[in-house]
Amino acid sequence: MGKDYRDPERPLPKTRILVANRGEIAVRIIRTIRELGFQSVAVYSDADRDALHVELADAAYRIGPPLPADSYLSIGSILDAARRAKATHVHPGYGFLSERAHFARAVEESGFTFIGPPAQAIEMMGDKSAARRAAERAGVPILPGTPEPVSIDDAHVEAERIGYPVLVKAAFGGGGKGMQVVRKPEDLEGALRRATREAQAYFGRPEVFLERYIERAHHVEAQVFADRHGTVFFLGERDCSVQRRHQKLVEETPSPVVDDDLRARIGEAATALAKAASYINAGTVEFVVDEDGTFSFLEMNTRLQVEHTVTEMVTGLDLVALQIEAALGERIDLSSVRARGHAIQCRINAEDPARNFLPGPGRITAYEEPGGPFVRVDSGVRAGREVPPDYDSMFAKLVVVAPDREGARRRMLRALGEFRVEGIPTTIPLHQWVLQTEEFRTGTHTTTWLERALRDVELPPAAAQPAAEPGQPVPAEIVVELDGRRVPVRIFDHRRDVAPKPPTRHTAHHGERVHSVVAAPMQGTILRVLVEKDQQVEAGDVVCILEAMKMENAIPAPREGVVSELPIEPGQVVQAGQTLVVIE
């Protein structure tokens, strides 16, 4: 568990904070809770029984099987764990239930304090159309778009009014899901249907709206913080323009495209919106910045961001500590805070960039974090632990700070070179390549740059992962809960000794096949089925979309033929090797 820095003379703290999350963010929150002298409570699914966040917490409670809907998204299970643990507060982290207004409301109605914004603010900003209207009332510039969700019948007229290209966006979504870029009128109807299906699958709501799409945009977001006494502070901007499929990969502060004047205007807009929403706690207002310096509101994320770390590195603040202090009702004064230096963060995911970012869950056989001055690693793993296939592929974040951007870039390259992870593929080679490109060095990259650039470059394949020596069992320490008390148990299991083999390039793109059988290359959830029984298909036609570790994987037909068997449906969980389609 590590050393306990709390004063041994003090009585047990009455504040007990349940962290309703997992992985690196749960570890990061638990560490701050310990530093503040409070007690932490972890929750875990069966897939996370021996996870690091469970080990570090003062207490831990099982909340269900691996499927998120039955564990980390189960409000009843989480509140039951909070009652059993006699928790006083609940911190949602990010992802999962962090931006669900009904979760925040249920926490408060159950007698706990929610460490985050009020449910009403989450509700307002979670409805993207309502958020646009609130931004407009607050005088925040917005992109031309539809004030309400649109139907297929109305979309053509609205798209002509807005002007192509347009972006179809899920009204109740985020994270790049339910988004489609449309450049021609004839593509609009298909994009609407795809976005609607995706929005329904991810967020349970099919509504979508339209807004103007900026081709060469920079993604710039403002960190705001508000206490319960009506004071709102702007803590600088972050640039998140290195993206793939609308998913952020590298973040930095300050933004290379924001000068002092633009920074002041972005800060004024962000604080105005936070005040209009009666916002409390940490929040992020996202903007798109055009090449001419024009900025427009995108959305507000009503939670701690993955990239909050870079703001912490240049300000010296602990944003999680501030969140807890605000939830306790303390008055926050950040008026004297000034940012110093430049910070960069790289998200370290269990994915293979050389194989179209194929997720690579499995057991980490070797793990060494980089060190040196001004280097930070937020991680949820150690050597011998698993990256399960059931959740997001990000298992660590590497963050550096230096006096200027070039110094931070060089420091990050040095740290990436020292970061050793074996047993699973990682995105480290991608980050090393990105940071050495001319576009990143000069800060001219945009949100669409990476996907275009990757078409013309071949990244090095993941290194062969060494297997453990057979016959030498590696003990695994798991946690057994007995009446709410954690009991560590060491298990020697030969089956855990060999790291899973990374998929070959053929497997990654085509899946395993015996004759005409298309099998799942990994465990995942069927997001969409794109063929029907007795349908004629051509070689390369996508038969279904398999989601694994929050990544969508298109599964193509291996050859021409007719679909004779189709034993899958949307929402179904499949195991590696399970038959998806049979083609005769």
d(CA 323, CA 116): 7
Closest CA to 224 of 258, 179, 274, 190: 274
What's the order of all strands across the beta sheet hosting 513-514? 513-514, 517-519, 579-583, 561-565, 536-537
Tell me what pLDDT residue 525 has: 86
Q: What is the pLDDT of residue 186?
A: 93
Under 8 Å between Cβ of 243 and 228:
no
Three-class SS of residue 543?
strand
Half-sphere exposure of 178 (CA within 13 A, CB side): 23
Domains 16-115 and 144-212 share a fold: no
pLDDT bin (cut points 50, 70, 90) of residue 396 is very high
**In this predicted structure, what is the pLDDT of residue 476?**
53
228 to 88, 190, 231, 275, 279: CA distances (angstroms): 18, 46, 7, 11, 9
Q: Is 117 helix (H, G, I), strand (E, B) or coil?
A: coil
Residue among 442, 134, 436, 157 nearest 279 (CA): 134
**370 touches 336 (CB < 8 A):** no
Percentage of the chain with pLDDT > 90? 67
Half-sphere exposure of 276 (CA within 13 A, CB side): 21
Token pair of 538 as six digits: 């051509």
3-state helix vs strand vs coil in the chain, percent to 5:
30, 30, 40
The DSSP H or E segment spanning 75 is helix 75-84
Alpha carbon 359 to chain centroid, angstroms: 14
Residue with tokens 């930095």: 252
CATH of domain 144-212: 3.30.1490.20
Contacting residues for 543 by C-beta, under 8 A, at least 6 apart: 518, 529, 530, 531, 537, 555, 556, 557, 563, 580, 581
Q: Which pLDDT score, from 0 to 100, does residue 474 have?
A: 46
Q: pTM for the complete prediction?
A: 0.82
pLDDT digits (tens, 9 = 90+) for 443-465: 999 999 999 999 988 887 766 55
Burial of 374 (0-12, 13-18, 19+ CB in 10 A): middle
For residue 487, what are the CA distances in angstroms to 29, 56, 122? 22, 13, 38
List Cβ neighbours of 187 (8 Å cut-off, separation of 6 or more): none
Query: Does 497 have pLDDT greater than 50?
Result: no
Give the whole-angstrom CA distance, residue 340 versus residue 326. Answer: 24
Give the pLDDT confidence of 247-280 residue by residue, as tens digits. 999 999 999 999 999 999 999 999 999 999 999 9
Phi, psi torsion values for 68, nearest 5 degrees: -55, -40
Q: How far is CA 485 from the centre of its chain?
A: 31
Asked if residue 17 has pLDDT above 60, the reply is yes
Share of the chain above pLDDT 70, in %: 87
Ramachandran bin of 182, using left for φ above 0, alpha for ψ from -120 to 50, beta for the remaining angles:
beta
Using alpha carbons, list the distances in angstroms from residue 116 to 40, 47, 244, 434. 17, 27, 29, 34
- Least confident span in 85-94, 391-400, 441-450, 454-463: 454-463
Quick one: residue 341, left, alpha or beta (phi over 0 = left, psi -120 to 50 = alpha)? left
Question: Please, is 366 exposed, middle or buried when counting C-beta atoms within 10 Å of its C-beta (0-12, 13-18, 19+)?
Answer: middle
Q: Reply yes or no on whether the pLDDT at 478 is more than 80.
A: no
Residue 441 in tokens: 């060095």
Tokens of 314: 């240049």
**pLDDT confidence tier of residue 499, bands split at 50, 70 and 90:** very low
Question: What letter would DSSP give residue 141?
Answer: -
Cα 512 off chain centre by: 29
Specify whether the CB–CB gap between 218 and 241 falls below 8 A. Answer: yes
Tokens of 379: 């991680």
Domain ranges in the chain are: 16-115, 117-142+215-340, 144-212, 505-583
Q: Is pLDDT larger for residue 184 or for residue 477? A: 184
Residue 459 tokens, joined: 């990244």
Report the C-alpha dihedral over residues 280, 276, 120, 143, rounded to 10 degrees: -110
Listed in sequence order, the DSSP H helices in 468-578 are 505-510
What's the whole-number average pLDDT of the chain?
A: 88
Tokens representing 444 are 């001219």
- In the Cβ-directed half-sphere of 472, how many Cα atoms lie within 13 Å? 3
Q: What is the assigned CATH class of domain 117-142+215-340?
A: alpha beta
CATH class of residue range 505-583 = mainly beta
Pairing of strands 551-556, 542-548: antiparallel
Residue 139: CB atoms within 10 A of its CB come to 11
Going by the DSSP 8-state scheme, the letter that residue 25 receives in this structure is: H
- What is the β-pairing status of strands 89-91 and 16-19? parallel
CA dist., res. 423 & res. 566, Å (int): 34
Cβ atoms within 10 Å, residue 12: 9
Of 309, 307, 355, nearest to 459 by C-alpha is: 355
* CB hemisphere CA count around 328 (13 angstroms): 16
Q: 128-137 and 260-276 helices cross at what angle (nearest 10)?
A: 110
Class of domain 16-115: alpha beta
Q: Which residues on adjacent β-strands are paired with residue 556?
A: 542
Q: What distance in Å separates the CA atoms of residue 83 and residue 574, rounded to the nearest whole number?
A: 34
Question: Which token pair is 6?
Answer: 């709390």
What is the pLDDT at residue 214?
Answer: 87
| Range name among 124-128, 172-176, 416-420, 520-524 with the lowest pLDDT average | 172-176
Contact present, 480 and 489 (Cβ < 8 Å): yes
Q: Is the pLDDT of residue 13 over 70?
A: no
Over residues 215-230, the pLDDT tens digits come to: 889 999 999 999 999 9
What would the two tokens of residue 301 be?
């994320």
